[in-house]
Structure 1
Amino acid sequence: MWNVQGAGKQAFVATMREIIKINNPTVIVLVETHLSGDKTQKVCDRLGFSGQTRVEAQGFSGGIWLFWRKELVTVTPYEAHGQHLTVKITKVGGTPWLFSAVYASPDSTIRRDLWKESLSERQGTGGTEMQRRCRSFCDWMETNGLIDLGFSGPRHTWSRGETELTFKSARLDRFMANEDWTLQYEEATVKHLPKACSDHCPIILSTNGFAPIPTSLKPLRFQAAWITHDKFEEFMRANWNNSLPLIPFLSDFAVKLNS
């Protein structure tokens, strides 16, 4: 899952391709894309997934894109709403399960429509008590029997501001599941990845846990000893390029540092 707000199209595609190359996801979701129509299709086609579906952005608000590899999973659209996209996922030889990508609008009036929508998808519930319990996100989780799957990596998934006075951050993005799903995928693990081309960082879920990252794909780690080299400043001026997408640039930059 990744929020693409603020990403230029070329930088976004380049960064996404690098994230896909490193993490090799079977299913990928992008939320708050701010794109719709022909522009959307052109960007989606460049990501290289054989299956795709989406909820269009409304003007410059919202938008949910979902991609998958048809050779590995079957994805069947189940229900779409302005703030969520629900599909049935069936891995080859596996048990089907429902997956919902949810974008809760920052507008509280619109967001209440999402909580009400969850009521219509449940049987045997309703009335004023249920409506009261759906007034907040935590109550919504409880009502729907959802468990936060936790995470490793950076604590917050969203940040904004560059000075001490303007900086804000929060954990706005997360994976949740019901008890049956967690019992079926006991090794499931969530990881927060480094932020790039967005004020949200990508988050990734593996149903089987994560294998160690190959050395060739590990992120660049700055070594303090580099700055003591008498030609380090000259090297930085000659090789650093702010105009290129960050993730693929750092990969090439690391090769130069170690050569």
Structure 2
Amino acid sequence: MEIDFCSYNIRGLNSKIAFVKDFFSTNKISFCALLETHVKKENFVSISSIIAPRFTWLNNYEFHYNGRIWLGWDSLLWNVIVFRASAQQVTCFVSRRDGSSSCVVTVIYAYNDLVDRRPLWNELFAIQNDLPMGPDSLPWCLLGDFNAFLEANETTGDLPNRNRAMVEFKQCVKHLAVTDLHYGGEFFTWRDGNIVAPLQRKLDRVMVNAKWLEVFDLSSAKFLPRGLSDHCPAVLLLGLQKDRLSKPFQIFNHLIEHEDFLQVVEKAWDIEVTGTPWFRLSSKLRNVKKALKILNRDVGNLHQEVITTRQALLDFQSSMSTPSSQSQREEELLLISKYKAALLSEEIILKQKSRINWLNKGDGNNGFFFKSCKGRWNTNKLLSLEDDLGVTHTSHESISRTACGLFYGPSGFGSRFGVG
């Protein structure tokens, strides 16, 4: 799944760095807000660079010492300009670099206390009034942890006859003229730590205005299983068609060092091939590549245990009944323990292969060591190409077409060497 926007109250990031790194990679996230990180300001740069080294990151430490909101995005895909920020929200103008879409995104992390939340509602009213050309001129999305619910059925706990917090939240939503985007996944997005009788509530939302529904009519939201947090990630898919780039097969040291590597290569190379010398060479190379792909799939994946245990945890969390039983909650704790152990084992293996001494910070240097094993894979990707007229091409198809034109054209490299 490719996710356009994501908001995740991670409830403490220092002990979940490897988990969040894995979450970003697995879901192909390109724009994400992390809430309630509990990371000190001086550690922001080092930890954010481990989670997503290529991302551009910003925060709201200026408005709260705890940096309650982290915002990160892939600058190769998105342009982001901050419009307004505070301790409880960060609002940005967001557009894709290919020009296919633009919108306003407000990331919310509301205070727990009713009185402390009231300035947030006023800030949202002001943002709506200050948006260029009126409140309905731009698609607007509000996502995150509102720390309040709209309806009585959105909590499993006792509800007073008149819940003031719920009333004020409803008034805010009505004034802003926003609504929940069509969503799937988990209904209750937060659960406390009580194993015997847990309290569950819908605190995280993805809300949009009418213009959003008009422009992004195929968009949808989903609330994923909690993972290692007590909140569900809120993810949003714009419904836009994207180019899908295939990653080339690459051989890394862990595969070369495998005991069967030389035998696999030799066996594939010795397959009899007839034809011209060039055809024989290219065919033998294809045979070797095919054999190494099979070896890599069977024994070369260092992260299979992490993938397996993570999926087992998420699948179990998705299937838990509401309300969940004590035996289910105990089983969940066991699966969380197995997943954490797999993450730790992965980190140890990557440390051994990277052969780099590194001062451990938190539980997750996996991103750093994984990057060491992979070398410079990211720097070799071609994401844009400028033609002779100065036009920059970003889609996979246009880059391929432009590259062929530069090579085979009248003044291209191919023509100079008699190719084509």
1:193 equivalent in structure 2:
224
Of 34, 47, 50, which residue of structure 2 is paired with 1:43? 47
Matches within 5 A, 1:231-246: 242=337, 245=340
- Report the CA distance between 1:248 and its aligned residue: 5.1
- Report the CA distance between 1:199 and its aligned residue: 1.0
Deviations 1:53-108 (A, max 9, x none): 11127345x61011101111111111111110011111122232110001111122
2:120 pairs with 1:101 = no
RMSD: 3.2
Of 52, 74, 83, which residue of structure 2 is paired with 1:78? 83
Instruction: Write the distance in 2 (CA, Å) between the matches of 1:248 and 1:142.
Output: 44
Normalising to structure 1: TM-score of the pair?
0.73
Of 173, 192, 211, which residue of structure 2 is paired with 1:141? 173
Unpaired runs of 5+ residues, structure 1, are 126-133, 223-239, 252-259
Report SS of the residue matched to 1:152: strand
Normalising to structure 2: TM-score of the pair?
0.47
- Report the CA distance between 1:155 and its aligned residue: 1.4
Report SS of the residue matched to 1:68: strand
Instruction: Write the distance in 2 (CA, Å) between the matches of 1:71 and 1:114.
Output: 32
- Report the CA distance between 1:149 and its aligned residue: 0.8
Is the contact made by 1:15 and 1:247 (CA closer than 8 Å) also made in structure 2?
no
Return the letter of the residue paired with 1:20: F
Matches within 5 A, 1:117-132: 117-121=123-127, 122=129
| Higher helix fraction (1 or 2) | 2
Report SS of the residue matched to 1:181: helix
1:115 equivalent in structure 2:
121
Deviations 1:97-153 (A, max 9, x none): 11000111112221111112223332699xxxxxxxx97111111111111013211
Q: Which has the higher contact order (CA 8 A, sep 6+)?
A: 1
Inter-CA distance 247–186: structure 2 relative to 1 (3 Å threshold): farther
Deviations 1:209-237 (A, max 9, x none): 899xxxx9783357xxxxxxxxxxxxxxx
Instruction: Write the distance in 2 (CA, Å) between the matches of 1:54 and 1:114.
Output: 17
2:20 equivalent in structure 1:
16
1:67 equivalent in structure 2:
72
Unpaired runs of 5+ residues, structure 2, are 1-6, 136-165, 243-303, 317-334, 347-420
Instruction: Write the distance in 1 (CA, Å) between the matches of 2:69 and 2:231.
Output: 15
Report SS of the residue matched to 1:100: strand
Percent identity for Structure 1 against Structure 2: 24
Bigger Cα Rg: 2
- Report the CA distance between 1:6 and its aligned residue: 3.8
1:130 equivalent in structure 2:
none
Is the contact made by 2:41 and 2:65 (CA closer than 8 Å) also made in structure 1?
no
Deviations 1:150-201 (A, max 9, x none): 3211211110133333x11111101111011111111112111121221112
- Report the CA distance between 1:30 and its aligned residue: 0.8
2:196 equivalent in structure 1:
164
Is the contact made by 1:14 and 1:245 (CA closer than 8 Å) also made in structure 2?
no
- Report the CA distance between 1:203 and its aligned residue: 1.8
- Report the CA distance between 1:41 and its aligned residue: 2.1
Instruction: Write the distance in 2 (CA, Å) between the matches of 1:76 and 1:90.
Output: 9
Deviations 1:6-58 (A, max 9, x none): 44x2x421111111121101200111222231122221111124211111273
